[in-house]
Structure 1
Amino acid sequence: MKRLIFALLLLGAGHVRAQEGPEYPAAAPEIRYVGRTLAADDGVSFDWSGTWFECRFTGRSIALRASDTGRNYFNVTVDGQPVGTISIAGRDTLVVLASGLRRGEHHLRVQRRTEGEQGRTTLHALRLDRGGRLLEAPAAPGRHIEFVGNSLTCGYGTEGRSADEPFKAETENCDKSFSCIVARYFGADYSLVSHSGQGAARNYGDANTTSPVTMADRIGRTFDCAESPAWSFDEAVYRPDIVVINLGTNDFSTLPHPTREEFRAAYLRILATLREAYGDRVPILCVAPRVEDPAFAYIRELCDDAPYPNLGFAAVLPGYCNNDSDLGSSAHPNYEGQRKMAMLLIPYISTLTGWSAPHAVVE
């Protein structure tokens, strides 16, 4: 029987001695990372929502040694079954991910569910029990979707109980966002380049029609919340089969709105970055958000006359979800609302990629 220990355990504490065994550095080739990461002498660091790793191992327990500049939450899956949520905070802490496992081979997956503003995570090592070892890294599925977006992509408030509930990091879960739901449906890897409150030209609540730093700037970063180092698209271990952009909500949800020219220039910067990185053959799906015009009209116009080929257009219109039972924290879609959004976008992604749309539950 699997058992997850939720508390953070300080290194050297007596009750973690059962975990003492071989320790593998976080950058070991047996560990497969998905998302934007940076490997250094002290470990593998990242802060983008949804970044995850997986490995295969033998033994009856596994623990993670990690640090975090804030406090972040992670989904843990062992042998294909979700076993709980852990948090990482502070320096050089040891988190027991699973213990009491049956002898033999196991599969571990750990996914960051919170976003960059909550802090930067650095993984130092995986520790197994005596006699345990890491096996060859799992193979990639051969499909990859990159999502560029805002709080909807991050899964802000997906586990909130009502639209009136304020945001808490504990209820943010990107795994219940439309992005991860879509990736699961197609059996694809994914990367999330997303930050709550961000727009293409203007961020939520800005007093001006444009903001100094938006997703047009963050899209080129290794870390969401740091200007440098720049992300090396050429050296990345993944190349997406399609990019889905879901921006515009924050540009137009409050006044003052960016002008057509301001919004267009910022959105074209995003498209230019993606085309320079991935070329013309990778389709880009541009999603208009469920806010009133002009977002719909501006994004549709861009898809029609932008100087880049292979652009698709889709829209999440008002009325796609219930304004009570489908909303979580701060009136953001909960899991049910996110599922409905995913179901809207799946046909467009299927058409643009040529992937079949299987008769499967969207979850």
Structure 2
Amino acid sequence: MRLSFTMLLVGCSCLAASLTAWPTRAQGQATGVLPAAALQPCGRTRLNQQQLELISSAAHVGFSFEGTECRVYAVLPGGQDHNYLQYELDGVYQKRLRVAGGAAAPLVLMAPSGGKHTAWLYKATEAHTGAIAIQKITAQRVQALPVPAGPLIEFIGNSITCGALADASEVPCGTGAYHDQHNAYLAYGPRVARALQVSYVLSSVSGIGAYRNWNSAGPTMPQVYEKVDFQATTPMLWNFAAYSPRVVSIALGTNDLSAGDGKSPRLPFDSASFVNSYGQFVRLVKARYPKARLALLSSPMASGPNRTLLEHCLTAIKQQADASYPADPPVALHFFQPMQARGCNSHPSVEDHALLAKELEPFFRQLL
């Protein structure tokens, strides 16, 4: 598909970055400029007019610098009012950073002491909140960091996988914008990956399902997965050659089974349609990643009859996939223990995500 503007899709690339620096003098110290094009991102991103747009939940970039501070120049190309980054300094999680629309001032990251430091920036919010574009990073001896070599897990899912409605530490539940409580870094997937010391990407959309969404018939995950930003109307497709996950985890079904928003018409759950659509999506993922091990997760928010029904459906999907790909390793299943979620709108909180990650860690360790 030909696009009318220059665009480069970049994923978890370990290609050597070509670092360009323009030294200036500030208080007797040399300040380097790391352009966005030199960053080596992981997750769904695109380089657009020399700005690196972080698109998917927890899409991230790393860099090193010397001294006590660095400056990150970030903008919101979609014109939204605000969005959020979050960052890790020297291997320790710090906090979320509010990126204001139209702001010209950079975000300043402070280190407690001089010397050399490493920092990783993460998009705290999901693709549907709009991209966050990194223009440049300035600091003493600033350099891009490559994504660590080794296995990678892709986590496909809904708002739970996004880390949506999990963090009310700054904006209370029921107030602000929907993405004000997003915290992708502390969602279960990134926690599992860090515990296992592997790389990860999140492909997740709030409210989405396998054959129907929380309050609409679609577009569902099978319909948007190949789009770079999970938007049905976007012509740009994701470059699946950007990375090759060792494991692909799929956690869908919560929204298919839900009662909806109480406003839109909602038919009873159709297990045959769910199994058929989910099975087709499994085949799509297998086509994109023929060497990946597939894992299907149930929902910690499903309880009672819905929990049992979802487990039966996932078992049927696994059986179909195993029969269709007899030479491949079997599809793995994990059924969550029931959870009383403590986040906003009955979603898991950041503390709940820690429990989910602890439950999942041995499961994924075995798959890897």
TM-score normalised by the chain length of structure 1? 0.80
Change (3 A) 1:317 1:139: closer
Letter in 2 for 1:314: H
Superposed displacement of residue 39, structure 1: 1.2
Superposed displacement of residue 203, structure 1: 0.5
Superposed displacement of residue 100, structure 1: 6.2
Q: Distance in 2 between matches of 1:345 and 1:100?
A: 33
Post-superposition Cα deviations, 1:301-328, rounded to whole Å, max 9, x if no partner, equal 110122234311111243xx3x3xx511
| 1:172 is aligned to 2:179 | no
| 1:333 is aligned to 2:348 | yes
What SS does the corresponding residue of 1:76 show, helix, strand or coil?
strand
Q: Distance in 1 between matches of 2:218 and 2:95?
A: 38
What SS does the corresponding residue of 2:101 show, helix, strand or coil?
strand
In the other structure, the counterpart of 1:240 is: 245
Q: Distance in 2 between matches of 1:212 and 1:136?
A: 39
In the other structure, the counterpart of 2:336 is: 316
In the other structure, the counterpart of 2:283 is: 272
Q: Distance in 1 between matches of 2:34 and 2:70?
A: 11
Residues 63, 143 of structure 2: 8 Å contact kept: yes
Letter in 1 for 2:187: S
2:227 to 221, 229, 235: 221
2:218 to 201, 212, 222: 212
Change (3 A) 1:85 1:222: same
Superposed displacement of residue 101, structure 1: 5.3
Change (3 A) 1:239 1:294: same
What SS does the corresponding residue of 1:294 show, helix, strand or coil?
helix
Superposed displacement of residue 137, structure 1: 2.2
What SS does the corresponding residue of 1:61 show, helix, strand or coil?
strand
Give identity over the alignment, percent.
24
Letter in 1 for 2:333: F
In the other structure, the counterpart of 1:251 is: 256
Residues 275, 316 of structure 2: 8 Å contact kept: no
After superposition, where does 1:116-127 map in structure 2 within 5 Å? 116-127=127-138
Runs of 4+ in 1 over 6 A off after TM superposition: 17-20
Post-superposition Cα deviations, 1:151-178, rounded to whole Å, max 9, x if no partner, equal 11011122237xx932742322112211
Aligned length: 318
Structure 2: 5+ residue stretches without partners? 1-25, 260-265
Q: Distance in 1 between matches of 2:162 and 2:135?
A: 25
Residues 54, 60 of structure 2: 8 Å contact kept: no
What SS does the corresponding residue of 2:106 show, helix, strand or coil?
strand
TM-score normalised by the chain length of structure 2? 0.79
In the other structure, the counterpart of 1:113 is: 124
Residues 23, 126 of structure 1: 8 Å contact kept: yes
After superposition, where does 1:6-45 map in structure 2 within 5 Å? 21-28=31-38, 31-45=39-53
In the other structure, the counterpart of 1:86 is: 97
Letter in 2 for 1:75: Q
Superposed displacement of residue 331, structure 1: 0.8
Superposed displacement of residue 233, structure 1: 0.6
Post-superposition Cα deviations, 1:171-220, rounded to whole Å, max 9, x if no partner, equal 221122111111111011110000111111110023xxxx2311112221
In the other structure, the counterpart of 1:55 is: 63
2:202 to 165, 178, 192: 192
Residues 279, 320 of structure 2: 8 Å contact kept: no
Residues 57, 203 of structure 2: 8 Å contact kept: yes
Q: Distance in 2 between matches of 1:266 and 1:88?
A: 37
Q: Distance in 2 between matches of 1:151 and 1:52?
A: 19
In the other structure, the counterpart of 2:21 is: none
| 1:202 is aligned to 2:212 | yes
Structure 1: 5+ residue stretches without partners? 1-16, 354-363
Q: Distance in 1 between matches of 2:113 and 2:31?
A: 17
Residues 187, 353 of structure 2: 8 Å contact kept: yes
Q: Distance in 1 between matches of 2:102 and 2:203?
A: 26
Residues 64, 94 of structure 1: 8 Å contact kept: no
